[in-house]
Structures are given as C-alpha cells and as structure tokens.
Amino acid sequence: MKKLMLLGSGELGREFVISAKRLGCQVIAVDSYKNAPAMQVADEAEVINMQNANSLKRIVKKHQPDLIIPEVEAIHTETLAEIEKSGTNVIPTARATHLTMNRDAIRDLAANELKLRTAQYAYAESLKELKEVAQEIGFPLVIKPVMSSSGKGQSKVDKPQDLKKAWEFAKKGRGTRVKVIVEEFIPFIGEITLLTIKQQKGKTLFCEPIGHIQESGDYRESWQPYKMSDTLLKQAKKMAKSITDALGGSGIFGVEFFLTKDEVIFSELSPRPHDTGMVTLISQNFSEFDLHLRAVLGLPIPKIELFAPSASAVILAKKEGTPKEYKGVAKALEVKDVDLRIFAKPQAYKGRRMAVALAKGSSVNNARKKALKASKEVSIRF
C-alpha cells in the first residue's frame, strides 16, 4: 500500500485524498490548521508550519512516505529538494515546486529558455526601478510580487501616477526586500487552464481546455470545453508540453494561457491540480484528482472522456465566523445534473471559498447558468 504525504489540505487536497483512498492508498494530510478539508478524509493528519524546514523534516522522518505531494505553493521548497535527494519522491519534482513558486524563475524558463510567447515583462526591486521599467512596458500594466498567489499584492496600473500606490500594495506584508514582476496588460478575449498530464510511461495527455473568470485574485466560474480554434489549441498543447517536459516528473499540471483573437499567450502554471479544474469532478470520467493520482503512481490512463459541457461556480463566505450549517443545499440539488462540494472548512472569512457548485448541461451556457444558480442557492448559517 502506497503511503502519500499531502502538503496542503484544502479543497483540492480533499478531493485528491478521496481519489487516493478509493485506490487503497494511505494518506497523511498536512496543513497549518486542525481539521482542514483534506484531513477530514485522510488516515492521519499533521499540523505544522510548512515553511519551516525542521517541522517538514520531522514529519517526513516520522511517517516515511513513499511520495510527497504538494497541494499548495507556500512550502519550504529548499527542504523539499533535500528530502528528494535523500530518496523520497517529491511530486512532480522538488525543482518544479521551487520554480513555480517563484514567478521570476518560471517566467525566465518559459520566455528565455523555452521561447514561449508571454506578456512582455520586467522586474523591479524598488519604486525607482518600477518607474523605469514601467516606461518601457507602457500602460496599462500589471504588477505582482514574484512570490505570491491568489492575486495577493497584484494590481493593474493605468497611469504613471498610480505606480506608487501599486508598489506599496505589492510590498504590504512582504518584509523589506520585495521583487515584483511588471507585465504588459493583455486585453485577452478569454483565459484557459489546459490540464496537462505527464505520465511516468506513455505520452503526455490533455483534458479539454477549461475557460474561467477571475475576480479579485480568485476564480469565480470555470467551464469545459472552452471553444477555441484547433490551431490555437494545438499551439497551447505544444507550449504546455514544452514547459512540463522542462519541469520533469509526473503528475497533472494546470497550465494557464491568455487568448487573443489569433494568439495563445503563456501565463503561469501549477504543478498540481488547479482550482478551475474542479469542473472535472462532474465533466469527465477521470477528475483532475484521479488523473493526478494515476500519473504519480504510474497507473494507466486509458482514455479521458468529457461527458458533456460542464461548469463550476464558487461559493464564497460573506463574512467571518464558524459555519454551523449550509442552507439551500436541497434547493440547489433539485436540478438534474447539478452537484455540490462543500469543503467543511472549520472557519470562514470574507471571500473565503467554502464550496463549489457543479453542473452538466446541454451547452456550456446552459451548464454555466445551472452552476451559477445552484451556487446562489447556498448560504452559510453561522
């Protein structure tokens, strides 16, 4: 029986654990707080600060897992490299977790080494530098701390006068040394996640592209398939293959692209299941979590099948508190081909993702309508 250690125990981890338990794996779920979503369905749990090298080493020594599977970015990746060196398999590789946690590292790999089309970009480590590079890139532009996720510290800047505010915002809570990436703003017509599965043996597989809408740093809706031309999809697949090959290892990757009328622009990627990929919990014969599991265990993936156009819509907490009950669940589930995943997070805060509504439909539009409607039915009683 394989022993898996999951680093990060949120909603994506929870679904991954369910997939792993179904194939008889033993799972230790790790996060910084008790009773996290994945811990509720795992065999064992550890509550530690995953940015702390000693704590990470201690629990790896204690449990001796066969595989270490990161679910989040914020992990002490240098320690993952050490653990990998001493013989424990890190998914997909310690190097991949390190590179993808640093926007500058992954962007330099994509743009400079692999020559993938990206937004024009530069880095800045002071307001003065920011003003200089902003001149070269032009407005509007997007500023992001190189180490950040979920849109934290990110802003769009329309004019030079607003650079100072954006710099202060990026700096907030990040100590003294801050590095930001400054990107040309891409007026995209859509953005997608291309779930890319790198297998131990066998060729790289792709799911149908997933379209999504982002707001204040988090995704709100996703749907599959995203309708795009064969030419652009082929380009996206080629780029996804190129960067996942460069990262190595096995597992699923969520490769993000911006689309313009006639171009695919690489944005970033996660070396793990992607939040927008939760739609695959209803849309496919194998969810992104099943696929990740099979890939990391070296199990076959015969054929990925899309059942029907599908969508997901997130359910966010409106305020802080301890959820007592989820209301409107029955109403949401009255509709054919609608389902919910309630993450059972012990604490809510304003804007925290607490659940997701899933729907299959006769068309993408129909599925999106159903998912959105179901998401609106559900509310939290505190």
Ligand X SMILES: Nc1ncnc2c1ncn2[C@@H]1O[C@H](COP(=O)(O)OP(=O)(O)O)[C@@H](O)[C@H]1O
**Where along the sequence are the contacts to ligand X (CB under 6 A)?**
119, 142, 144, 149-151, 183, 185-186, 191, 214, 217, 256, 267-268
Shortest gap between Cβ of 267 and ligand X (angstroms)? 6
Query: Which candidate, 48, 100, 34, 92, places its Cα nearest to that of 73?
Result: 100
Distance CA 373, CA 359 (A): 10
Distance CA 90, CA 93 (A): 5
Is 218 an active-site residue? no
Is 353 an active-site residue? yes
Nearer to ligand X, 52 or 214 (CB): 214
Q: Which of 184, 221, 256, 288 is catalytic?
A: 256
**How many CB atoms neighbour CB 22 within 10 A?**
11
Shortest gap between Cβ of 70 and ligand X (angstroms)? 15
Q: Which long-range contacts (CB under 8 A, 24 or more apart) does 15-20 make?
A: 15/273, 15/278, 15/281, 15/287, 15/289, 15/341, 16/69, 16/71, 16/273, 16/289, 16/292, 16/293, 17/41, 17/42, 18/289, 19/287, 19/289, 19/290, 19/292, 19/293, 20/293
Shortest gap between Cβ of 165 and ligand X (angstroms)? 18
Is 290 an active-site residue? no
**How many residues are recorded in the chain?**
382
Is 162 an active-site residue? no
Is 151 an active-site residue? yes
Nearer to ligand X, 109 or 297 (CB): 109
Nearer to ligand X, 273 or 361 (CB): 273
Is 125 an active-site residue? no
Query: Which candidate, 169, 146, 155, 266, places its Cα nearest to that of 217?
Result: 155
Nearer to ligand X, 140 or 328 (CB): 140
Q: Which of 71, 184, 221, 275 is catalytic?
A: 275
Shortest gap between Cβ of 217 and ligand X (angstroms)? 5
Distance CA 211, CA 175 (A): 35
Nearer to ligand X, 95 or 144 (CB): 144
Shortest gap between Cβ of 256 and ligand X (angstroms)? 6
Distance CA 82, CA 208 (A): 36
Is 31 an active-site residue? no
Q: Which residues are catalytic?
A: 149, 151, 256, 268, 275-276, 353
